[in-house]
Amino acid sequence: MLNFENTKVAFKLKSNLDLNRAYWLFRVIGSPFIVKLGKAITLAALKLRLPINFIVKRTIFKQFCGGENIEECSETITALGAHGIGTILDYSVEGKTEDDDFERTTQIIIDTIIKADSQREIPFAVFKITGISDFGLLEKANNIDEIIRAEDQIKLDQIKERINRICSIAYEKGVPVFIDAEESWIQDIIDIWAFEMMLKFNTSKTIVYNTIQMYRHDRFEFLKKCREEASKNGITYGVKLVRGAYMEKERARALEKGYPSPIQKDKAATDTDYNKAQDYILKHLSDFALVAGTHNESSSLMLSEALKNHNIGNGDPRVYFAQLLGMSDHISFNLANEGFNVAKYVPFGPVKEVMPYLLRRADENTSVAGQTGRELGLILTEKKRRRSRA
């Protein structure tokens, strides 16, 4: 029986040393003041080129990342796979602006697909379109009133060629690939391009997945329209369902520019739409494939029960659960222990290059109500259980 309180299962991959490191790390990032101070010190150290990689790599990097390159992730891939959990290799380098960097990132993403083709423990690949394109250009493409200059159109065609190259390799290798969601003011063009890729590659198997962020109040209706369009065109619509990651930025921009915020009025509304979306997809699973990307216990339990109610097997390949490496092991490992399909996002990249990702992880753990406290409580429970068995 599924039980997220089972810490023996949740932390079976972690040694006592790993548990202690995780405990102190979550203690630190549970304090907004320390996180703010730590970010300032880290950014200053990077700017001054101080040798902090050694410290970072053995603390927050080790908790949330698999390695600095694909090969360094091998140990994590094997360890997770031994417990029935897949790996999603996520090249988490951000903020690049040059075409050479975009091409390098495109090749690394393709390399993750090739790696997945050779290793069954890797069920999906993933990429962000901002990782292979200029953000400002996406803003222009997203604005239907924007007049696109000839030189910009050439660069937009290059972006689409990179996307097509990635999805073509994914199709050739039979490896499903996620296109991550981004800020609302560039998301429309991403949705359009994602659907174009689905029309091309989702004819017999779900290869391309779009990411839908349910903290936007318009996304449930968008999901229903996606199903209509997919059904009309005889394809499946791959959905990675998430709550979302840009809430504060979205609200601030809406206020600054004077337009209605796209964000739900409160967390309860987000939770309601997320759970509605899960159920809607299961009711129409012939038109969808679902990856439920959530650290929410209630939603995960609800989905596990809904599968049973819809007579869908725990291991049905059309439905996966997904969490981030270093977080919510009590959800991932207990779901896998009951035969559900589970995968962990495993970020990788040079320490300095993934610092923006790591600092965002620290911010999110600090801001999500109860997240850090829940992690700490479970770690303490497991430490106590181990001591009692010693």
Task: Give the SS3 label for residue 89.
Answer: strand
CB atoms under 10 Å from CB of 265, counted, come to 9
Tokens (6 digits) for 140: 């222009």
Count of CA atoms in the C-beta half-sphere (13 A) of 28: 17
Q: For residues 68 and 353, what is the distance between their CA atoms, to the nearest angstrom? A: 9
Q: Do residues 64 and 358 make contact, with C-beta atoms less than 8 angstroms apart?
A: yes
Tens-place pLDDT, residues 248-281: 889 999 999 999 999 999 999 999 999 999 999 9
Residue, of 47 and 307, whose pLDDT is higher: 307
Q: For residues 352 and 42, what is the distance between their CA atoms, to the nearest angstrom? A: 10
Tens-place pLDDT, residues 294-304: 999 999 999 99
Q: What angle do CA 213, 321, 171 make, to 5 degrees?
A: 80
Residue 34 reports pLDDT greater than 80: no
Question: DSSP H helical segments within 180-266, as ranges?
Answer: 184-201, 219-232, 247-257
Q: Do residues 194 and 260 make contact, with C-beta atoms less than 8 angstroms apart?
A: no
Residue, of 389 and 342, whose pLDDT is higher: 342
DSSP state, residue 82 = T
Tell me the mean pLDDT in the region 294-318: 96
Domains and CATH numbers, the chain: 65-361 (3.20.20.220)
Mean pLDDT score of the chain: 91
pTM across the whole model: 0.93
Single-letter residue type at 372:
T
Q: For residues 331 and 302, what is the distance between their CA atoms, to the nearest angstrom? A: 12
